[in-house]
Structure 1
Amino acid sequence: MSKKLLTVFGATGNQGGSVISTILGNSTLSSQFALRGITRNTSSARAQALASKGVELAVADLNKPQEIEAALKGSYAVFAVTNYWESKSREIEVSQGKAIADACIAVGVKHAVFSSLPNVTKLTDGKLGHVAHFDGKSEIAEYFESVKGKTGMLSTYFMPGFYVTNFKTMIRANPQVNDGTPTLTLPWDSEKTHVPLLSPEVDTGTFVAGIVSYPEPKELDGKYIQGVSEWSTPSKIVSEIGAAIGKEVKFNPVPEDVFMKFLPSDTAEELTENMVLVRDYSYYGVGTEKKQGESDKVLQPLGLKTQSVTEWAKSGSWNF
């Protein structure tokens, strides 16, 4: 039986790289899918490492629709991801995402999986209206839905949670603030804030692999999948990281205006509202921590497991 071609955007990045690693590392999946990785530089060390493992490489500039279409030809499924932070422009990101959607339709992709996020402005009734890197991705997902029409293409939206890798830079040992104990300082409640954590380099692939290999793919059409390795609270997060690395880690809750002062002026409002979204709306919406089982259904057919905070914390080095 011939393999289905899965084309992955951002093949050398966190999300795309995770998808490729997961497929390659699972004999069932690697027997079902051939892989094509899209990158802007096929000669880079990371790209060549993928090529050595049998991944076909393709070049595509997301600002050039004709290159996107050429890179997607022959694809059964596509995993697409856009990067707001590269331009810090919602308009540019949305334009790129729409170009991907149009290309998927043009070449006859059967299943498109887009890395999206909630529309924060709508979710909060306008109370949080400056989280552009969420709202833009939501707009792209809406565009996918609007253009696929009766083409027969299925679309599923993977919504990555809060990256555990953020804690590598967010936890700081600052003797000017406390006794030098590594501390996580955020405008969250230590016990009441529900944090949807994702280990991006591992579990992006876990969820996307579950989506593209799901035995009844039509059931996932138009569905939004919460990409969460583990739901936690701030106090539990620092406790588990501390236990894993053998060093006490504290949590320091601060008001929003204090937190905002820690941030660069051009991103302060957006990132502060992002943290308020986690605190007041559980990131995906109030009560969504109780609905994770609906998303985890995509993991069940292959028995896929997510990575815990403890496992992640033990897997890398920490410098305080």
Structure 2
Amino acid sequence: MTDRPLVLVTGATGAQGGSVARHLLRSGRWAVRAVTRDPRSAAAAALTARGADVVACDLTDPGQVRRSVAGVDAAFLVTDYWSLKEREYEVARRTADAVLAAGAGTLVHSSLPEAHRRSGGALALPHHDGKARLEEELRASGSPVVTVHLSTYYENWPARRLRRQEDGTFAFTLPHGDTPLPAVSVADLGPLVGAVLDAGPALHGDVVKAVGDLLPPAAYAAALTRSLGVPVAYRDVPYETYRELPLPHARAVADMLEFTRRHPDVTAADVARARGLHPGMRTLESWADSAPEQFARLLR
């Protein structure tokens, strides 16, 4: 037993939940109940070794969810649209209700901006809309919820965006023109959520944007050129062209980027606020400087 407040972390072996769980365990201020579908995985074993209470829980199973939330003081809720698809809203709604019914003082909900209504139905972003629906309902209910909106991850750049060219330089292709693109290291999400939990009721009902950098893509190319020591170019392409590229989830990514281009709602003030909550929040350049291992395979 511990006298530290207990935080439930969903998706604890994934990118977001793992970042949150590891930070809370490092801080020593919180006890962590890490829920995962596979408690025998290497990632789950690593959390156990750090001191987490790792619990087997499939969020699609109401009974398992009710058991996993018993006695929690707070929770971080993230759901994966790509594994749940049309069930995402239902599963997230049921989990949020269970957390709040268990008496949690703060629920941090990882969400995304509503896109269908704002785009007039022109953009298909179902991985936004289920999260946004729950976000709106929780806010309207007055529940003790803080919403966190994630930006695109820096961690996606080495493996998914940068491509070596025939002359040894690198380039990335995006349909974003010169509109600033919000981005963040998912590793910085954990400290940000920790600060949100520490703030408690002061942030209830609020939306915190997890963003570490807000630059036009060409400026990101210049930042990577400085950090990596090799030329990196940005290639702007039309939205329609990007949608047809032979890339994983190309259409969904194109729609997401087109949404941020048409409806830019992250500002310099949001970056400053995120950095105020987590002073160590990194820019893309400082992240690349601090994480050379992320680029090792690409550069060799």
Task: Provide the TM-score with structure 1 as the length reference.
Answer: 0.85
**TM-superposed deviation, 1:268:** 4.0
The question of whether the paired residues in 1 share the 8 Å contact of 2:106 and 2:201 is answered with no
SS of aligned partner of 2:280: coil
Aligned to 1:65: 62
Q: How do 1:260-275 residues align onto structure 2 when only pairs under 5 Å count? A: 260-263=243-246, 267-275=249-257
SS of aligned partner of 1:158: strand
Return the alpha-carbon distance in structure 2 between the equivalents of residues 65 and 143 of structure 1.
Answer: 20
Aligned to 2:279: 304
SS of aligned partner of 2:188: helix
Q: How do 1:1-320 residues align onto structure 2 when only pairs under 5 Å count? A: 2-26=3-27, 30=28, 32-87=29-84, 89=85, 91-128=86-123, 130-146=124-140, 148=141, 153-168=143-158, 169-175=160-166, 179=167, 181-189=169-177, 192-200=178-186, 202-214=187-199, 217-263=200-246, 267-282=249-264, 285=265, 288-292=266-270, 295-296=273-274, 299=277, 304-314=279-289, 315=291, 316-318=293-295, 319=298
Label 1:123 to 1:263 Cα distance change in 2 as closer, same or farther (>3 A): farther
The question of whether the paired residues in 1 share the 8 Å contact of 2:76 and 2:110 is answered with yes
Return the alpha-carbon distance in structure 1 between the equivalents of residues 10 and 242 of structure 2.
Answer: 34
Q: Name structure 1 gaps, 5 residues minimum.
A: none
For these two proteins, the number of residue pairs brought into alignment is 293
Paired-residue identity, %: 27
**1:179-221: CA deviation from partner (whole Å, max 9, x where unpaired):** 45311111112xx311111101x1111211111001xx32311
**Aligned-partner residue type, residue 229 of structure 1:** G
**TM-superposed deviation, 1:238:** 1.1
**Aligned-partner residue type, residue 68 of structure 2:** A
Return the alpha-carbon distance in structure 2 between the equivalents of residues 158 and 103 of structure 1.
Answer: 19
**Aligned-partner residue type, residue 141 of structure 1:** E
Task: Provide the TM-score with structure 2 as the length reference.
Answer: 0.90
**1:235-282: CA deviation from partner (whole Å, max 9, x where unpaired):** 111111122111111001111122112145x94433211111122222
* Stretch of structure 1 that moved more, 104-113 or 310-319: 310-319
SS of aligned partner of 1:74: coil
Q: Name structure 2 gaps, 5 residues minimum.
A: none
SS of aligned partner of 2:205: coil
**Aligned-partner residue type, residue 191 of structure 2:** T
**1:273-319: CA deviation from partner (whole Å, max 9, x where unpaired):** 1111122222xx2xx314315743761xxx63202212322302421
